[in-house]
Copies of this chain bind each other. A is one copy, B any other.
Amino acid sequence: MKNIIIAHGGAPTAVINASLAGAIDEIKKSGFDGKIFAARYGSKGLFTGDFIDLTDTSDEEIARLIKTPGSAIGSSRFPLYDEEYEQIVDNLIKNNIGYLLFTGGNGSMDGLGKIYEHALKRNTTISCIGIPKTIDNDIKVTDHAPGFASAARFMAQTCRDCAQDVKGLPIHVVIVEAMGRNAGWLTASAALARNNKNDGPHLIYLPEVPFDEEQFLKDVKEMHEKYGGVLIVASEGIKDKNGDPVCKAKNSTSRSSYFGEVASYLATLVTEKLGIKARGEKPGIIGRCNSSCASEIDRKEAFLMGKTAAKAVLNGKNGFMAGIERISTEPYEIKPILIPIEDVMLVEAKLPNKYIAENGHDVTDEFVEWLRPLVGDLSDDISFLD
């Protein structure tokens, strides 16, 4: 009897463990009689052979896993070299692994695809299936990926609360920074914060639209004259017309750096050029791992993707990623599908033009309609100011 192993890749989300829970649940219910392993810290565990035995995971643990943010088995985000894939396949063979599930974004799917290719070359029978995961929603083909809806709900709910704060104390311009370096899905999600057309966010700056400082200052001035308090959302990855980041990478080490500090940069710009009090807020990883704002649909779909992938891999499917096909938006209905892994390896899905408003600093109604069922209802509010 062969064993199965599950690995996580890249940054965790609020619901990556729900996919793990779904996979374990499906494997246990299938009557599978091999061992269920997890790779400790993702590809690192696969490479070093550091496996966690999850065969005896209880139903109570599965229920708690569904609500636990972050990666309960650990993850990593370092790309592997060719000879490292050989070592991984060696470890899988040595541990009698017949099935590999890998949860991650387009980078992780690239890694999974390479393990799949190396295993094929070695004539072994390790079935490989991917489970989509990303807060940036930049995986191709699938309608959306688990992790995104919860991060989107955080942006929407957070911006609704901040808009209410700014409306009641209209003394400044507040800029909230959104994650998603190249894809604006998460930044765009802030639009769901609005109940009425005058509600914040009043301006939304996406990485897909070239950022023009002069136009930005003009827009901010106009909104400030109109509303007093202004709420702005900007992607950490906004770029100028030459494609250069508005904010350079900082805190670089030999292996990586991080973008961001865009909100702070823009706030200083507003104060220096317009003389208006401004502050930048940067939730950062607070937004990607936030369990209080997790979307119920997202948790369910993450669980479903884990189950779908586990079912497929145990049925001998190989070289696919589980995905979501949207059947209908109203009422919301989806079905799980399998996508050939080569269609999603290292390609990025950006926010399409149909979802970007003509003025370049907002989204379209079509986007809001598409996103609303994923985020669910936000809290109700009231204001006597209008």
Contacts and interface: CB of A to CB of B under 8 A. Distances in A.
A245 interface: no
Given A158-B290, A382-B64, A70 B174 contact: no
Interface residues of A, number: 78
Nearest to A157: B292
A260 B279 CA distance: 9
A354 to B, nearest CB: 30
Contacts of A76: 169, 171
B69 A12 contact: no
A12 B168 contact: yes
Nearest to A163: B70
A52 B260 CA distance: 42
Q: How many copies does the complex hold?
A: 2
A185 to B, nearest CB: 20
- Main secondary structure, interface of A, reads loop
A165 B38 contact: no
A165 B380 contact: no
Interface string A35-54: 00010110000000000101
A276 B289 contact: no
A224 interface: no
5 contacts: A69-B161, A73-B385, A74-B169, A157-B291, A280-B282
